Structure 1
Amino acid sequence: MERHAFAMKIKEGRMNAYRKKLGEIWKELTDFLDRNEIRNFSLWNAEDLIFGYYENEDGRKLDKNEEAVRSALIEKMQDTFQWISVPGQDMRLMYHDFGIVRECKELIRHRVFMTKLKEGCEEEYKARHDGLIAKRGDTVDPGPDSNFSIWSAGGYIFGYDEIDTTMEIQETAESRQETIAWETRQLEIMDWITNDVDWMTGEVHADVKCLAWHR
């Protein structure tokens, strides 16, 4: 399975127009997704940012007719946003922990987050997360996290995670301290856009919202 991600910034004052146009093209868009076996498509919003995620089978490509359909759909929305990622290309994959992917999406909750990297800190961010992968080794994470990926473009970080609610356990005091230590260190190289660590810092950030999802 291939995982893909893209990101956009809504033009000033155009969020309502973006939502309206998304509703207008939704039937065309979902027909396009179904025809091309694009699954688990979702759109997420915080402040003026839009993050999109989707999956397809390995090696699946659009033919010329479907490329034209995709371009036409984007054109209908184009006046409401500017691209952060490069159209037609994935953002840089900064981290992954795909684990055991859950087919039953009714029993997951999402964690989607957004941050802004401090200038010159992209490679440090990548190195820290490469360290997590190396520490994990070849083992497959049984959960509760699955399909976890972190992407970067334009100085932004976007994270996507599917969490199996049947496997979640109460956080221990030790694991909470480990989280605090990691997040404190991360604040050296990035600034939060979403409210993931407001409980720790006492600051107030945006709550990420799911704008759309199509299985």
Structure 2
Amino acid sequence: MNRHAIALQIRPEKFNDLRSGLGRVWNRLTRLMDDLEISNFSLWNIEDLVFGYYETDSLSPTPSEHQKAEFRSLEAEVGDSYRWISGPDREMRLMYHDFGIVRPNKELIRHRVFVTRLKGDFQEEYKRRHDGLIAARQGKVDPGPDSNFSIWNAEDYIFGYDEIDTTMETAETEEGRQATIQWETKMLEIMSWYTDDVDWITGEHHRHIVRIGCHN
């Protein structure tokens, strides 16, 4: 399985145009995805940002000239309602992964999708810190509840996608809580949040990200 991520920024006052445009092209878009064997596709919105996640069996799907023309037609239909932060031809950088045991059945999956923004040129520092988490696992496969976790970067935006097996979730221990507070407080040195994931630590108030489209 190969994982991919895209992101776009909605132009001012254009959210409704984007949503209606997606509605007009959705059936054609999903047929194209089926033809290219794209699966587990979802789109998520927070403020003026949209994050997309999808999977393929091949390293990167190669559309035919006809399919490329169809994609261009779909983009034209949606119009100038957005700009690409990172599109299909310029994929986001994978900054972290904890894929664990991926559940093909998504019925008992809870999603956690989050967005942050780096406070400066901290891409490599962000990557270094998360590489340390990967090294600490020492090659062991995470049995869960996280079953398909990845974090992506484009420009100074950070997008995280996580599938959580709800049958394996347990109450957080006090030790785990303190470790989370320590980690997230340190990460606030280099990034700020769009989503509400650490509001319980900071006392701030952010919006919750919402899914605006999916195709399995």
TM bin (shorter chain): over 0.9
Residue 133 to residue 35, structure 1, CA distance change in 2 (3 Å): same
SS in structure 1 at match of 2:80? helix
Question: 5+ residue gaps in structure 1?
Answer: none
| Stretches of 4+ aligned residues off by more than 6 angstroms | none
**1:108 matched to which residue of 2?**
109
**1:50 matched to which residue of 2?**
50
In structure 2, give the amino acid aligned to 1:42.
S
- Aligned-pair CA distance for 1:90: 1.2
- Aligned-pair CA distance for 1:70: 1.8
Q: CA separation in 1, counterparts of 2:58 and 2:37?
A: 11
Question: 5+ residue gaps in structure 2?
Answer: none
String of CA shifts for 1:121-159, please: whole Å, max 9, x gaps: 111100000000111121111111021110001100000
Give me the CA root mean square deviation. 1.1
SS in structure 2 at match of 1:58? coil
In structure 1, give the amino acid aligned to 2:65.
K
Q: CA separation in 2, counterparts of 1:164 and 1:72?
A: 38
Quick check: 53-62 or 138-147, which moved more?
A: 53-62
SS in structure 2 at match of 1:84? strand
**2:28 matched to which residue of 1?**
28
SS in structure 1 at match of 2:167? coil
SS in structure 2 at match of 1:111? strand
In structure 2, give the amino acid aligned to 1:54.
Y
**1:191 matched to which residue of 2?**
192
**1:165 matched to which residue of 2?**
166
- Percent identity, aligned pairs only, is 58
**2:212 matched to which residue of 1?**
211
**1:178 matched to which residue of 2?**
179
- Aligned-pair CA distance for 1:194: 0.5
- Aligned-pair CA distance for 1:195: 0.5
SS in structure 2 at match of 1:106? coil
Q: CA separation in 2, counterparts of 1:34 and 1:157?
A: 28
**2:90 matched to which residue of 1?**
89
Q: CA separation in 2, counterparts of 1:14 and 1:86?
A: 19
